[in-house]
Chain A
Amino acid sequence: MTDRDGIRRLGGVPARSDRLKDVVASAILVLAAVWVLFPFYWAAITSLKQPVDVFRLSFVPWVQFTPTLSNWRSELFYRGSAIFSGLGNSFLIGLGACLVAMALGTLAGYGLARFRYRGWRNRDISLYFLSQRFLPPAATILPFFYFAQRLDLLDTRIILIAANATFTMPFAVLLMRDAFQGIPIEMEEAARVDGASYLQILLRISLPLTAPTLVAAGIISFAFTWNEFVFAFVLSYSRAVPMSVLIAGTQDVMGVQFGYVSTRLLLAILPPAIVVLIVQRYIVTGLTLGAVKG
């Protein structure tokens, strides 16, 4: 059975060893939470520091250093439009790449899970997709640049969506394939008997069953695109510049401006955080695994 959190709990009264394990698990979680949050906390206080304080030891504002809003002021007022556009670009590119990658990847993943190929074996096709992650970005960037230039697609979101969809498709393919393989075939066969087409089966039956993996793969695709740097900074000049490139812009001739790095890191993480929050709810309400198994 699954509880409100979508986390499965075993039934019955927990045994003593169970309780101990729960305590250990809790302790691990707390430590992990601190570890996860520390850099964000550090970014938050660094964004409030004067440059002279950045390297001085100071954990707690007001107690150990005088906080200042000048970094935030400068970012939001002077650079506000650039930042807003950077966030917008990151979002659109991420969404676009995620949709394309998930669409094509889920189809391919389903094919690899359910069919046996001739000529080119399943393993080869999987490897073919996986190999997209192998290519180092710096090697394909130049040809990509010439290609984009010839088609007048430089500094456009389209080209970045295309590039990122290519890079993140392997995640979609492999993860969805694993997920589809984990679903018992009986349901699909029953629907086949009823005369449903393969596409209908995919959309109506298999996909909902693999919702957690679908969302996870989507998040991963979005995340990788959100932080993609090399292609973004070579292919974009001013109109299509995403946040990852804006952050690199904080290193200027006088060195890294840590105040701005921190503000941009926090600003850059805000929209994905919101996306994740929304998506979380979907995972919780969308689970139908219990219905199938129970």
Chain B
Amino acid sequence: MSTTLEGRGPEGDGAGGTSRRRGYQLRAWSFTAPGVVWVFAFTIFPLAHTLYLSLQSTGLGGNRFVGLRNFVRLWRDYRFWSALRLTLTFVTVSVVVTVVVGTVLALAVNRGVRGTRVFRTLSILPMFAAPIALGYLGLTIFYQQGGPINNVLAAVGLRPVPWLSDGRWALVSILAVDVWQWTPFVFLVVLAALQNVPAELLEAARLETSSSWPVLTRITFPLIRGPLGTVIILRIVEAFKVFDIPFTLTNGGPGLATRSLTYDVYTTGLRNQNFGYAASIAVVMLVLVMVVAIVFYRSYGSTYE
């Protein structure tokens, strides 16, 4: 039996008759089937139920089928638009900042200066800090009259910042906590990717040029493009669902200033018991994120085949 070139990418699955193709597919699916089936079992039913719920209106004594009325109401609901605007802003800023800072840190660590091992261990800790606890702790850190941050600001002569009582600064506060917690995630993944870059390649490049910028852009970045893309899409999707931090730090306030979409779903569904409407918000969220993901895959797609 000749060796079939079963590789990644569109090089093709080699010559061979239909029997090999069928066997090939069987083997291929034997790897992914367990995961696919698991996810199907634990997600399709809940998703179907959610879709079903989004077409109901929840009142005393049960649900009533109302078709698309929830969605129409959503379209006209300024609270939904406010939550949407906020969530999109949050996602954009958070992803940009965590990715940039995380990558810079990974590049710095990759140089191998002293103490990088200690730092790498330390940097994993934020990911394990419970966001709930961070939010509560943040109440004392962002405290307006003499909390540590405002105290430092006062020491250098700046005015105290209304971290939690002003709409715009409240957004900055939740971003700060989120960035603090998730930059290590980017850092870890990018670092692992940087370490997969063959040393000989870099050494060869350094023989060609002494400045590091072209080395960075022409060699390093293209090689880590895959993992970097993955980490970006994962960050986008995570940031989109932000909940724990506004839940504990600002309660979505002041007013609606930091009320994310997931927060809206939670309050509407589990607190106000308005399940139908909450489900419709969730469905819209799902559609939006799928669109983002598809757009992302279209542009980054080649690295994913």
Residues on A facing B (Cβ under 8 Å): 1, 3, 5-11, 15, 17, 21-22, 24-26, 28-29, 32-33, 35-37, 39-40, 42-43, 46, 54-57, 59, 100, 104-105, 107-108, 110-118, 122-123, 125-144, 146-147, 162-163, 165-166, 169-171, 173-175, 178-179, 181-182, 185, 189, 192-193, 198, 212-213, 216, 219-220, 223, 226-227, 229-230, 234, 243-244, 247-248, 250-251, 256, 258, 261-262, 264-265, 268-269, 272-273, 276-277, 280, 289, 293
Contact = CB atoms under 8 A, between A and B. Distances in A.
A56 B241 CA distance: 34
B42 to A, nearest CB: 4
B163 interface: no
A244 B285 contact: no
Chain B interface bracket (under 10, 10 to 19, 20 to 34, 35 or more): 35 or more
B113 interface: yes
A103 to B, nearest CB: 8
A113 B8 contact: yes
B78 interface: no
29 contacts: A3-B112, A10-B202, A25-B111, A32-B105, A40-B125, A55-B145, A104-B34, A112-B32, A115-B13, A116-B10, A117-B25, A117-B32, A129-B35, A132-B39, A134-B285, A137-B241, A166-B39, A169-B39, A170-B234, A175-B189, A198-B31, A219-B127, A243-B130, A256-B136, A261-B133, A264-B130, A265-B130, A269-B130, A293-B200
Nearest to A126: B304
A22 B137 contact: no
B208 interface: no
Contact of B125 (A59, A123, A273): A273
Contacts of B49: 142-143, 146
Interface of B: 3, 6-8, 10, 12-13, 21, 24-25, 27-32, 34-36, 38-39, 42-43, 45-50, 53, 104-105, 108-134, 136-137, 139-141, 143, 145-148, 151, 180, 184-185, 188-189, 192-193, 195-196, 198-200, 202-203, 206, 210, 212, 226-227, 230, 233-234, 237-238, 240-241, 243-244, 248, 261-262, 265-266, 269-270, 275, 278-279, 281-283, 285-286, 289-290, 293-294, 297, 301, 304-305
Contact of B282 (A138, A243, A256, A289): A138
B104 A28 contact: yes
A100 B42 CA distance: 13
Contact of B131 (A9, A126, A219, A229): A229
Nearest to A251: B136
Given A9-B112, A46-B137, A114-B7, A182 B196 contact: yes
A170 B235 CA distance: 13
B113 A25 contact: yes
Contact of A17 (B28, B120, B189, B210): B210
Contacts of B32: 107-108, 111-112, 117, 125
